[in-house]
Every structure is written in C-alpha cells, then in structure tokens.
Amino acid sequence: MSHDKNIVEEQKRVDEVIQEINIIEEKLYSKAGGLKESIIDLRKNFWDDVTVNLDEPDDVIETQASLKQQAELLAERERSHGKIGKQLKTLARLKDSPYFGRIDFKERPRNEEEQIYIGIASLMDQHEEDFLIYDWRAPISSLYYDFPPGEASYQTIDGTITGEITLKRQFIIRQGNIKGMFDTGVTIVDNLLQDALGNNASTTMKSIVATIQKEQNKIIRNEHSKLLVVQGVAGSGKTSAVLQRIAYLLYRFRENLNSENLLLFSPNPLFSSYISNVLPELGEANISQTTYLDFLKEGIEKDIAIESPFEQMEFTLTCKDEQLLASRQQNMNLKSSIDFKSILDDYLSSLLISGIQFRNITFRNEILISKESISKYFYSLENNISIPNRIELVSKWLLKELRVIQDREKPKEWVLEQAELLEKEEYLQAYYENQRVDEEDFSIEEDVLRTQVIKRYFAPIRKQIKQFAFVHTLATYRQLFIDWEPSTVSDEWDTICELSIDYLTNKFLTWEDATAYRYFRGKIIGDKEHRGVRHLFIDEAQDYSAFQFAYIQEVFPYARMTLVGDINQAIFSYASTENPLVPNFFDESFERIVLTKSYRSTKQIVEFTKKFAPGGEIIEPFERDGDPPNVIFLESISKQTEEIINSIARFKDKQFETIAILCKTLKESNDIFDMLKDKVAIKQITEETYAFDKGIVVLPVYLAKGIEFDAVIIPDGSLEHYNQESDRTLFYTACTRAMHSLTILTTNNPCSFLQEALN
C-alpha cells in the first residue's frame, strides 16, 4: 500500500477515534451534571436528612450512624465527580493527539495479528469491548520502545508473551490531524525526535512519552531495584525519564501506591516549577516535591540560620581570605564524609553517660526548674534506655512538676491582677468550662478565673516542654568541638573546631553542618522516619555528599531510591571525596543505567562541549545540526555590554524565545543585570525565584541545573574568570544548557577549557 493511501486510512481511524471520544464525553458530561446537582442537593439538605436525637444513649448512636452515612454518601458522590473531571481532561488531551505509535503484533501460538495503538492513556470504545488506544505504560506497550520489527516479547503478571512485530509506525498528530507518519525499524525515528527537539525551549518541561528511547525505557519500567542509579550526560533525557518512571509506577501499582507515597528532591525551587506540569500532562497527580535544604529545615530550630548549598558555593567561589577558605575546605571535606558520622556516633554514645546540655524552665523571670535538675533527672534514668526515650520520660516528669508549680502559683496576687484584665470572651469561656459557678458565690467565681489565668500563662511552657525545647541541642552539638577528642584525630581537627565554635555560637549552620546537625538532633530528641515514602527520587544526585546519603537512608528506611545525575556536572563535588554516583557506602547492591546520547543541544554544541567534559565520559551527539558555538574575543572588557546586546539581537532575529546569560557567581549575575537592565528587557533569577517566563534572563549557572534555553550567552570565559580546575564542571554545565545556540565572550586570554574546545 502506498504511503499516501496509508495516511488516508490512518487519518480515517483518527477521525473515528475522535468521534468515539465525543460520544464518551457527552455521556460523561451528562453524568457529571447529574452528580453535581446531587452534590448540591446533599450539601443543601444535609441536616434535613439526618436523624438528630441526643436524649438517650441509643438515640446518640443512631444519630452518629445517620451522620456517618450521610457524610459517606456525599464523599462518594464528590469522589465520582472528581474522577469524571479527571477523565474529561484526559479525553481532551486525546482529542488533540490520540496516539503516537502503532505496532502490529502476532502473538504466539495464536498467530492472530493485532493492531496496537499507543498513546498517553488507554481508551476503550463506548461499549467498553475493545481497546482503541493502549496506555504507554501498559505491559504490551513496552514492545514499541524495546523492539524493532521482528521477534519480540513483553512481560505480564502471568509470564512472558512472545511473538513477532510485523509493523512499527510512528505518528505526529496535532489537533486531530496527522502531520507526520513514519514506518521504522528502530525505536524512534529521527523525524519524530527532530520535531520534538527542534522547537523552541519551553519555560516548563514537556512530556516525552512519544520519544522515549530503549535505554530510557529501562529506567522507566524498572520495578525491582532497591537502588537505581542513572548516570546520564547533559541533555540525555534522564530527568524526563525519571518523571515518566514516576507516572509508570503510579499506573503499574495503582492499587497500593499513590502520589503521597513518592517524594522527589529537586535541586532548587525553580527546577521544581519547571517540571511541575509533566505528571498532570500524563493524567497523574503531582507527587510531593521539595529541595533537600527545605527538608532539612523541617527538623531544625527556626531560630538557627542555615547556609544554602548555593551560598556555600558562592562563598567558595568569591572568598578572598585564603586562610578562611582553606579552613572551610577542611570543614567541608570532613563533615561531608562518613568519617564524621562515625565521630558523631562515638560522641552520641558518650552522651548516654553525661554531657547533654539542658535549658532552665523559666516563668516571669524566675527559674521554675533548673537545667541542673533536669540533667540530674535525665541521668538518673537507666543507661540502656535510648536518649530520645529518656527525653520523652523527662518531658512527662516536667509536665507533672509543672502542675505542682501551677497549683503553687494559683493563689498568688499577680494571678488575680491578671484575671481582672481578661477579655469578655475569656470570662465567658471560663464560665462555660466550669458550670458549678453560682452567681452569688464569688469565691468559686474567683477560683475559676484564677484557673483560667494559670492555664493561659502556662500553656506556652507546656507546649515547649512537649516539643522538648528544654534540651539545648545546639549547645550539646557545639560541645563536640570544645572538649571531645575523636578516636582518630586529623591534623585539621583543631582548625575545624575553631571554625565550628565560631559559627555555632552565632547560631549559624554551614551547609556542611546542616545534615550533621539534623542527624545529631534526631539522635537526641528523635527524628521522624518517613515510613510512608515508598519511592524516593533524587535529581542532581552527584551534588550530594556521602554523609547526606547516609542520613537519607536512615530517615527513609523503607523507600526504594532512584538517584539521577551526571558526574560531569558535579558543581559541589569539592564537598565530598566520595562519588555519590558510585555509592559504595550503600548497604544494598544497586543497578546502574548509563545514558550517553545527548538530545538537548545541536550536534555542533555537543561536539564542542565534550572536548572539555570533566569526567571524560563517552558523549554521543544526536544528529541535529545547527550553528557552531560562537566564541567572541573582546579587545577589552569594556566591549562586553555591547557584544551581549548584539548577541541578544541576533538570537531574537532567529525567533528564540528563551535567552539565558549564565554567570559563574551571583555577584557576576548582579553586575551583568545592573549593566543591562536599562538597555534590554531582562529579568534576574535568584535562589528565591520559583518560575521563569520566556524572554531574556540572567542567573548563576548553579541555578540553571536541569533547565534548557534556546540560546545561552556566557559573558566571561576568560582565564582570569575561570581560573581553577574545579571551575570545569561549572563551565561545562553552563555551555550544555543551550539547545540551539551558544555564544561565549572572552578576552584574548581564554580559560583552559575554552582552549581545549578550540584546539
């Protein structure tokens, strides 16, 4: 059959599928309308339909049952309405592009050929008899991603199904019309990828289910690995594959897994916003997302300042005090390591006997219970009771002591003085809470009011005791650096102690201290184990230290983990001597999948950047041609502004919609923004930016991790600016953000990485 005739036949089927969708939509709209009216009526008449009688115990039970029944009926109707709303959204997406692939599969031993059309969601005909479209996550759909025409197989719950693929066809369908159609012998033909990759960069990541490659499919459908490590070069689609993996897991285990059981650690809030629409595009609810910094903050006192990883990097890149920089480097190296965890564990063992610091419990500038008394009670408890359990017992003892103190304070003059200042509402509350008040018995009324005042004034103290605020965790952690001698002392220990004492005295945690302190605090007062998280996903995993991973393992004891990263982009690698993408400190064995093909950038940009890639990894460019990177040598730095503006104008002429000026540091970003803000329409992205719009943006490269732009300008690629070997990852990361065009400005003395690329 000719190609044109095939297109006519396939378009006819697309039209028939859309017609079926319209019929199903009408039925759902009708059903949704009826449900909406029912919900409104139920809400309006809720109490009319409930039997309320509280006279007798049996009547109370009947009333409770009636309330429960009515509430459950309303909740069930609301769930059904929400489900229909979700179905209608999926149908709307299917109407635009019903499917993107077709395979004809002859299953053995039946040898009956079945036409299988694959899209973002399953669709059955209006009679629910035949599949018109198979969900890309269905077991049979793996044939599309994993095999060319010929012998093929796929896994089901019942075992392996074998057979032969006789046809593999791919579509580009927009607004219900076939724009392109290809019969192919490989996974995804270049035409389809070219269409997906040749467009302008978006301010949000798009679903890539139509262009998933075989190696990405291995990531997506991996069900068995306790730990899955994905090493992917820049632009290899590793993050996209992991997001499709999340959608696959929610589909595959939909009976006992929901979005609340999955958690993603993003590198920064901007990235979280960038990927936020992928799962809804696939018909799944977004899972919980947070940065590791925000996660740590949840378990650290609010009055302690925490350095962010980007502030740590900014300090490292801009500090002019060589002695201070060397001290911080020693601090980072130790506190990012498993060795420091061992030091903490030894110190914690010693605290079973003595050393935990406590706070006085005070009230009205008087010490109610001294820290010495608390310490004495704590250490009077059995040593074999864990520290958090002993703290819990101390808390109960303190609350009991507080009740005695409250009774002692109640008759005092200040209580009656405060009673006279109570608001009218508080008087009424006191009255209703104690119905024994006789209007003519003023002594009873006074007792009630005194009770109200005591309750009010001691409530904050009770709350603090329940939150274990009487434990001075920071002072106890600080004591480690004052009088503790580790079993193996390094030459740098004294320097690290001096630096640590200084920061901790000022209630400041460096980034390398943040995880260590959260771990330490958890061992003292208890830390919440996130047992409900069944799958944890960590993007930019190469930027995590060994200590951070050890802590994550401890607080997510039942979670399977997927680590995603690129050792070529390890911009925080100075903080750890151990490579987190070779996690030899993990207890369990792991599976590694390596993605070497880069799809983001043009062939010319990939060939240029691979010459100075830090890890020396094999990087394969995708065959998408474009202009070679443009290196502009400036006669003097004063020409920088003019050349940036000229480059922006050239990019605009090419209809590029996202243009990024990527700087080494925040300071450089600030300077460039101040220089350009009155000359071009430019926006600055900082650590507090949660989303970005199309246009011209300037930002430090470490905030651009995982994001792509149509065009990238690096404003200073000189040796004076990128003068350390450790800058290689930053420079590489900046260059690989560009999809279509890359411009680098430099003096006549370019950095060594640029020289490597130009030679």
Query: H/E element holding 662?
Result: strand 658-663
DSSP 301-339: -TTSEE--HHHHHHHHHH---HHHHHHHHHHHHHHTSHH
Contacts of residue 754, Cβ cutoff 8 Å, sequence gap at least 6: 612, 631, 717, 722, 731, 744, 746
- Cα(116)–Cα(152) distance, rounded to whole angstroms? 14
Rounded Cα distance between 253 and 236, Å, is 27
707 burial level (CB within 10 Å; 0-12, 13-18, 19+)? buried
* CB proximity list for 543: less than 8 A, separation 6 or greater: 267, 309, 565, 570, 571, 572, 573, 580
Rounded-to-integer distance, Cα 537 and Cα 242, Å = 8
Does 616 belong to an annotated binding site?
Answer: no
Q: Is 701 labeled as ligand-binding?
A: no
Establish whether 141 is an annotated binding residue: no
Reply yes or no: is the peptide bond before residue 109 cis, omega within 30 of 0. yes
Residue 598, token pair as written in the block? 């880069």
3-class state of residue 705 by DSSP:
coil
Q: Is 354 annotated as a binding residue?
A: no
Q: CA-CA distance, 115 to 10, in Å (whole number)?
A: 12
CB neighbours (10 Å) of residue 271? 22
Q: Is 239 among the annotated ligand-binding positions?
A: yes
Residue 272 assigned ligand-binding role: no
Query: What is the number of other CB atoms lying within 10 angstroms of the CB of residue 523?
Result: 19
300: its two tokens = 């650290």
Query: Apex CA 719: angle with CA 717 and CA 721, to 5°?
Result: 65
| Helix or strand holding residue 696 (H, E) | strand 695-700
Structure tokens at 70: 């009515």
Terminal Cα distance for the chain, rounded: 52
Please, which residues bridge with residue 593 across strands? Answer: 230
List C-alpha distances in Å: 48 to 52, 61, 71, 136: 9, 18, 13, 48
Q: Residue 228 and residue 233: Cα distance in Å, rounded?
A: 16
318 is in an annotated binding site: no
Residues 6+ apart with CB under 8 A from 689: 269, 270, 699, 703
Q: How far apart are CA 6 and CA 299, in angstroms?
A: 61
* Pairwise CA distance, residues 283 & 35, whole Å: 22
Strand partners, 471: 358
Cα dihedral sign for 290, 292, 297, 299?
positive
Question: Which class for 469: exposed (0-12), middle (13-18), buried (19 or more C-beta within 10 A)?
Answer: middle
Cα 175 to Cα 179, 552, 607, distances in angstroms: 10, 45, 37
Largest CA distance in the chain: 103
Which string of DSSP letters, residue by residue, matches 144-161? HHH--SEEEEEEETTEEE
- The residue behind tokens 């999926």 is 90
Sheet strands (E) in 464-531: 508-509
The reply to whether 466 sits in an annotated binding site is no
Residues 6+ apart with CB under 8 A from 119: 94, 97, 98, 99, 100, 101, 133, 134, 135, 136
Structural contact between residues 242 and 539, judged by C-beta atoms closer than 8 angstroms: yes
Residues of the binding site:
232-239
Residues of the binding site for ATP:
232-239
